[in-house]
Structure 1
């Protein structure tokens, strides 16, 4: 239910609705707004990289993982609702991107604490299935939110409560709905999850926290080296997966000409496909192992991403066909990555290890936005076209392919020992 409840931030805000709104022509040219989104995404990623391991470690030391998660979830809800103030004017571009970036940071930190609670609801034999169901529930929750705001506010000329598209009111009211959804539907998770009683460790300063994190990394290198290799590999491919989410809907609108309403319909269809696929792949995860699920998913995404670039002149039908096929593999790769690491976490170290998981991902989180922006510029230089946004997909494909290559030599989770 936490996945279901917080999904509007990922599905509605960062992917299919607000990101499309903030990169629309009301805020500036397509290349300008797309590049600005890439910059804000990269800055947010850097902040997560700096904060995640320390805050995760402090949650472990205090024994208040769930309490911290509760507060962080509420902050995400409030920041989502605050996007209501972003009017469709160039002067609000960085206001919207700033709120989006802060929300992304808090959401990622909350995800660290959330992931560390997986051992409360799963065993080593079922963790793949549970992780897959969690991701799948998130996607299905995303469908409901998208359809709700589409039917009530965006599609009608005059929606519920007299809401229209003037001054972007339909999109802005949708942000209020997202905030309310997050606050309401995460409540069941907090009725089940509990802070585990433990002797609290003494508080440490920021500098000492980083020293302890470094000591943990050295210990992990000595005791389970392929776990470190996995963290490095997953950093690359998860950044590529994040790029698919961050820029997919932007490409749909800016390159393939889908309207905001069309993007929402696509998003609903994509979430149905992704939700079902992720749950099914979760069962394969427990049977075949998460590494195979990850590699198959990444290979498919690389091929499909190249297809979108090559056939971009085919219009919306190309994006609908290949884009929906891509959604089959994004969720399984994410869920399998989480289950891979969950099988390796020592008792009482969930926050710290998943903090390292977030950090290693975010240390390179500038790569996807940077590659997206660089390839847009490269496309403009090569072709001379005014709108070369479609070249950005090559940057995402490059990161996914690099993640695939680095993941290949990583040993299965049951073999993570030195030598």
Structure 2
């Protein structure tokens, strides 16, 4: 007979078992929200919103949101940039409030369901409603960024230092698995829209809305499994006022950890390139290479399948060579991918699939290992605040890449020139990361230094 291992609240009393239970729940937020990044941002919304904007454009190919002339082909990239600027203002405040109150879970729920609702609302994007599409994209993207601050902040609380590379990589693998599964369903709907009695546009809108429904449904799992940690209550002021004061204190505190800031700067630069490639790849494929939507869906599906193996494989590489060296190797591969993309021939899906395969092998691993590496650089008790700064680097300050991409196209009319401009982000990021002494940075943050990092 075994002893009872549950507490009165139904949670297991064994710390290791409780930690594994939370980890399994934590993985499912990646499973829930990754379909937005995959189906909406990477595959469907870019080309579809561009087509809606072109339908509303004047004879010169420009739309005029708020009276500003914008080339229709640049609207999607600009909307992504605006969404990130909005997130910049929200993420540090939410992170500070989460650490101040200890109530990450209600904030995670609010951000997740606002984003899921905006995504589901994309079902109504049709005709010339490009402003509606841009607005919903801004809301959904900003909400995802805020939710990821809170989600990532759980990592140092639910995983021991030597577990974090593995746990982070598994989270990304869950996300890419769900992205692949939903893309298969999307492909069935889109490719067979005639047999379902749907127009092409209606099929796209159903695929967009389904991502929002999926996001909302599977968010219930982490909300059930994750738990808030108790924190000291603050008296005499509201949570928002406390949050602003804590944010100010966090910014001052981060100056005491210059090596952590050095890593954030490197990550800000190279991840800007990663995020821009992800968000603009379908526009590049459809507009510059002349590939149809079915080819783009299957290419992204290939990315999702290989990204699962890539995330897990690079997690194993990190155990042998360290996370820093593995990330640096991935940045060299990213640079080669962009150079190959510049010379990719139009109307040649086989070469596009080869490029997609290369992206898949490095995408999940570079992101997962960056997250786990940063978790070692966060002072204990400041997880959400520091991860708000990390998320600003991950999404919040990644406005420059889409802006450069959009401006390059606006000025040259060539997506090839736009894609090659992103090489600088990976080159500069590589140099900056190579200069960060990560073992010394972990010790300076007051954390135990893993045997291999």
What TM-score results when the alignment is normalised by the length of structure 2? 0.84
> What's 1:231 paired with?
264
Q: Distance in 2 between matches of 1:411 and 1:217?
A: 22
* Correspondences of 1:18-97 after superposition (within 5 Å): 18-24=45-51, 26=55, 28=57, 32-87=71-126, 89=127, 91-97=128-134
- Quick check: 2:101–2:239 contact (8 Å CA) kept in 1? no
**Post-superposition offset of 1:271:** 0.4
- Quick check: 1:49–1:360 contact (8 Å CA) kept in 2? no
CA deviations on 1:286-340 (whole Å, 9 max, x unpaired) are 4422211221111110111011102345733322212321221122111111101
Q: Distance in 2 between matches of 1:34 and 1:205?
A: 42
> What's 1:241 paired with?
274
1:3 and 2:30 are equivalent in the alignment: yes
> What's 1:140 paired with?
177
Q: Distance in 1 between matches of 2:172 and 2:40?
A: 17
**Post-superposition offset of 1:360:** 4.0
> What's 1:326 paired with?
359
Runs (5+) with no aligned partner, structure 2: 1-27, 63-69, 446-453
- Quick check: 1:257–1:316 contact (8 Å CA) kept in 2? no
- Quick check: 2:96–2:244 contact (8 Å CA) kept in 1? no
Q: Which has the higher contact order (CA 8 A, sep 6+)?
A: 1
In the alignment, which of 142, 149, 156 is matched to residue 192 of structure 2? 156
Q: Distance in 1 between matches of 2:96 and 2:222?
A: 22
Larger Rg: 2
Q: Distance in 2 between matches of 1:107 and 1:219?
A: 26
Q: Secondary structure at the match of 1:23?
A: helix
Distance 1:215 1:121, change over 3 A: closer
* Correspondences of 1:13-412 after superposition (within 5 Å): 13-24=40-51, 26=55, 28=57, 32-87=71-126, 89=127, 91-151=128-188, 153-160=189-196, 162-165=197-200, 168-202=201-235, 203=237, 209-222=243-256, 224-313=257-346, 315-361=348-394, 364-378=397-411, 380=412, 387-412=413-438
What TM-score results when the alignment is normalised by the length of structure 1? 0.90
Q: Distance in 1 between matches of 2:159 and 2:436?
A: 24
**Post-superposition offset of 1:62:** 1.1
Q: Distance in 1 between matches of 2:399 and 2:212?
A: 27
- Quick check: 1:59–1:351 contact (8 Å CA) kept in 2? yes
**Post-superposition offset of 1:237:** 1.1
CA deviations on 1:372-413 (whole Å, 9 max, x unpaired) are 1233245x3xxxxxx511211112222222222221211114
- Quick check: 1:73–1:110 contact (8 Å CA) kept in 2? yes
Root-mean-square deviation (CA, aligned residues, Å) is 2.3
After the TM superposition, list the runs of 4 or more consecutive aligned residues in structure 1 that deviate by more than 6 angstroms. none
Runs (5+) with no aligned partner, structure 1: 381-386
